[in-house]
Structure 1
Amino acid sequence: MPEEAVTTLRAELERFGRAEEGFALLEVFLEVARPRLGTVVLDPVGLHLPEGMTDDRAVVQGLIEELERAPREKGRVVERAYDMDDEQARWDYVRLAYSSSQATVWSRRGRTTYFEASGRSRATYWLPDSLKSNYFEALTSCGWAIPPDWLTAVAKRPKPWWKRGGR
Structure 2
Amino acid sequence: MPEPVTTLHAELSLFGRAEEAFALLETFLEVARPRIGSAVLDPVLLALPDEMTDDRAVVQSLIDAVDNEPPPKRRLLTTTERAYDLDDEQARWDFTRLAYCSPLATVWSEGSRTTYFEASRASATYWLPDSLKAQYFDAITAKGWAIPADWLSAVAKTPKPWWRRF
Check whether TM > 0.5: yes
Q: Secondary structure of 1:114's match? A: strand
* Shift >3 Å, 4+ stretches: 73-77
Once residues 88 and 74 of structure 1 are traced to their aligned partners in structure 2, the CA distance between those partners, rounded to angstroms, is 25
Shift of 1:55: 2.3
Shift of 1:39: 1.3
Once residues 121 and 57 of structure 1 are traced to their aligned partners in structure 2, the CA distance between those partners, rounded to angstroms, is 14
Q: Which residue of 1 aligns with 2:24?
A: 25
The percentage of aligned residue pairs carrying the same residue is 70
Q: Which residue of 1 aligns with 2:143?
A: 142
Residue 85 of structure 2 aligns to which amino acid in structure 1?
D
Distance verdict in 2 for CA 1:73–1:42, change over 3 Å: closer
Contact 2:22 2:96 survives alignment (8 Å): yes
Q: Which residue of 2 aligns with 1:132?
A: 133
From 104, 110, 114, the equivalent of 1:108 is 110
Q: Does 1:83 align with 2:82?
A: no
Once residues 121 and 60 of structure 1 are traced to their aligned partners in structure 2, the CA distance between those partners, rounded to angstroms, is 14
Structure 2, unaligned runs of 5 or more: none
Once residues 85 and 74 of structure 2 are traced to their aligned partners in structure 1, the CA distance between those partners, rounded to angstroms, is 26
Q: Secondary structure of 2:51's match? A: coil
Q: Secondary structure of 1:38's match? A: strand
Once residues 44 and 16 of structure 1 are traced to their aligned partners in structure 2, the CA distance between those partners, rounded to angstroms, is 24
Q: Which residue of 2 aligns with 1:42?
A: 41
Once residues 133 and 107 of structure 1 are traced to their aligned partners in structure 2, the CA distance between those partners, rounded to angstroms, is 17
Structure 1, unaligned runs of 5 or more: none
Once residues 74 and 161 of structure 2 are traced to their aligned partners in structure 1, the CA distance between those partners, rounded to angstroms, is 38
Shift of 1:109: 2.2
Q: Secondary structure of 2:47's match? A: coil
Residue 142 of structure 1 aligns to which amino acid in structure 2?
K
Q: Which residue of 1 aligns with 2:8?
A: 9
Once residues 91 and 55 of structure 1 are traced to their aligned partners in structure 2, the CA distance between those partners, rounded to angstroms, is 15
Aligned residues: 163
Residue 99 of structure 2 aligns to which amino acid in structure 1?
A
Once residues 60 and 6 of structure 1 are traced to their aligned partners in structure 2, the CA distance between those partners, rounded to angstroms, is 32
Alignment RMSD: 1.2
Once residues 24 and 81 of structure 1 are traced to their aligned partners in structure 2, the CA distance between those partners, rounded to angstroms, is 20
- TM-score if structure 2 supplies the norm length? 0.94
Q: Which residue of 1 aligns with 2:53?
A: 54
